[in-house]
C-alpha cells in the first residue's frame, strides 16, 4: 500500500497543528520530521521540544529523519518525545548495527537512510533489521530541490533485494517527490512517499496531499 508522508519542513511552523491536520485530511498517514544539526547538513531545524508539541496534536506515526552527525546521542530523547520511526544515515553511523538495535530497544521502528552518492548494496548486512530503507532523492538539507533520477535505479535494486532475501522492509523516498515524479517512484517500487514542498506550498496542504496521493495510487494500480 502506498502512503503519503507530509514533511513538515515546508510547513508554516507558526501554524504547525493546522498544517498537519490539513495534510492528514488530505490523506497523509505518517508525519515526516526532519532533524538537521548544521554539521551533517548545512541547515538547522527542529528537535525534541517541537516533537513533543506535535505529539499532542496528531495521532499519526511520526517518522524522524535524523540528519545529524551523532544520532546515538538523541535516540532516548526522541523516543521520550513521542517518535514512532527513526531513520539514521549510513554515512555517519560507525556502528550502524548497534544504532539500529538501540532504536528498536527504545520502542521505535529502526530505518537506515542513504544519500544520493551511497550505494544500496552497502546496506545488505542490515536489511533484515530495518522497518524501512529511506532513499534520498536529493542531497539532504533543504526542501524544494529537484529529484535525482538515478534514485529510481536504487529503489528498483532495493525491491529486487527484498525479494531475493525474502525480507519485508518498506522502501521510502525523500526529496523532489511531486506531481511530475511521484508516478515514477511508485512504479520503481517505493511505497512510503515523503513530500514537503509539494504538500505545503501555497497554504493548500489538504488539496495538495489529496492530489499527490491520488497520482500515487493510480501509478500503484497500473504497476500492480
Ligand atoms: C530534505 C528533507 C526532506 C524535505 C523534502 O533534506 O529530508 O524531507 O522536506 O522536501 P521536498 O519534498 O520539497 O523535496
Ligand atoms: Zn527528510
pLDDT tens, 21-79? Answer: 999 999 999 999 999 999 999 999 999 999 999 999 999 999 999 999 999 999 999 99
DSSP for 179-214, written as a single string:
TTTHHHHHHHT--EEEESHHHHGGG-HHHHHHHHHH
All three cell numbers of 136: 534520498
Residue 5 C-alpha to ligand 1 middle, in angstroms?
11
Residues assigned a catalytic role: 34, 174
| Amino acid 95: pLDDT | 98
Tens of pLDDT along 168-217? 999 999 999 999 999 999 999 999 999 999 999 998 999 999 999 999 99
What are the cell numbers at 181? 515524479
In this prediction, residue 206 carries a pLDDT of 98
The pTM of this model reads 0.98
Closest CA to 209 of 3, 59, 35: 3
If one counts every other C-beta atom within 10 angstroms of the C-beta of residue 68, the result is 21
Domain spans of the chain? 3-223
Tell how far the Cα of 186 is from the centroid of ligand 1, in angstroms.
Answer: 17
Closest ligand 1 atom to residue 36 Cα is: 6
Report how far apart the first and last C-alpha atoms of the chain are (Å, whole number): 11
Testing ligand 1's pocket by substitution, the residue of 6, 85, 175 carrying the most ligand atoms inside 8 A of its CB is 175
Ion ligand 2 neighbours, Cβ < 5 Å: 34, 65, 174
In tens, the pLDDT along 101-159 reads 999 999 999 999 999 999 999 999 999 999 999 999 999 999 999 999 999 999 999 99
CA of 151: how far to CAs of 140, 213, 214, in Å?
A: 13, 20, 22
> Ligand 2: distance of its center to the CA of 7 in Å?
7
In this prediction, residue 203 carries a pLDDT of: 87
Give the position, in ligand 1's atom list, of the atom nearest the Cα of 145. Answer: 14
Q: What is the pLDDT of residue 9?
A: 98
Quickly count: other Cβ atoms within 10 Å of residue 116's Cβ.
Answer: 15
- Mutate which of 10, 86, 138 for ligand 1 pocket (most atoms within 8 A of beta carbon): 138
Long-range contacts of range 53-56, CB-CB < 8 Å, 24 or more positions apart? 53/16, 54/8, 54/16, 54/17, 54/20, 54/82, 55/81, 55/82
Domain 3-223 has CATH 3.20.20.70: yes
Instruction: Provide residues with CB under 6 Å of ligand 1.
Output: 7, 9-10, 32, 34, 65, 138, 140-145, 174-177, 194-198
Rounded mean pLDDT of the chain? 98
CB 89 within 8 A of CB 114: yes
How far apart are the C-alpha atoms of 143 and 197, rounded to whole Å?
6
Q: Residue 160: which residues within 8 A CB-CB, separation 6 or more? A: none
> Minimum-distance ligand to the CA of 139?
1
- pLDDT at 224 > cutoff 90: no
Q: How many CB atoms lie within 10 A of CB 124?
A: 11
CB contact set of 99 (below 8 Å; sequence gap of 6+): 71, 72, 75, 88, 93, 110
**Residue 193: closest CA among 75, 26, 14:** 26
Cβ–Cβ < 8 Å for 188, 155: yes
Report the alpha-carbon angle 200-201-207, nearest 5: 65
Amino acid at each position: 500500500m502506498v502512503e503519503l508522508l507530509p514533511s513538515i519542513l515546508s510547513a508554516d511552523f507558526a501554524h504547525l497543528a493546522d498544517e498537519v491536520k490539513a495534510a492528514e485530511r488530505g490523506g497523509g498517514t505518517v508525519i515526516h520530521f526532519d532533524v538537521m544539526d548544521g554539521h551533517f547538513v548545512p541547515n538547522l531545524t527542529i528537535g525534541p521540544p517541537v516533537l513533543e508539541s506535535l505529539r499532542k496534536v496528531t495521532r499519526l506515526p511520526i517518522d524522524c529523519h535524523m540528519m545529524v552527525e551523532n544520532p546515538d546521542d538523541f535516540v532516548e530523547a526522541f523516543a521520550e518525545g513521542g517518535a514512532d520511526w527513526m531513520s539514521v544515515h549510513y554515512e555517519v553511523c560507525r556502528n550502524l548495527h548497534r544504532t539500529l538495535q538501540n532504536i528498536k530497544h527504545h520502542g521505535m521502528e529502526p530505518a537506515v537512510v542513504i544519500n544520493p552518492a551511497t550505494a544500496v548494496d552497502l546496506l545488505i548486512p542490515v536489511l533484515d533489521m530495518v522497518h524501512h530503507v529511506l532513499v534520498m532523492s536529493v542531497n539532504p538539507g533543504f526542501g524544494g530541490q529537484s529529484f535525482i533520477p538515478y534514485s529510481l535505479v536504487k529503489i528498483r535494486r532495493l525491491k529486487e533485494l527484498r525479494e531475493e532475501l525474502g525480507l519485508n522492509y518498506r522502501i521510502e523516498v525523500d526529496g523532489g517527490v511531486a506531481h511530475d515524479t511521484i508516478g515514477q517512484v511508485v512504479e520503481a517500487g517505493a511505497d512510503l512517499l515523503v513530500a514537503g514542498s509539494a504538500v505545503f506550498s501555497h497554504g493548500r496542504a489538504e488539496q495538495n496531499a489529496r492530489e499527490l496521493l491520488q497520482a500515487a495510487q493510480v501509478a500503484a494500480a497500473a504497476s500492480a
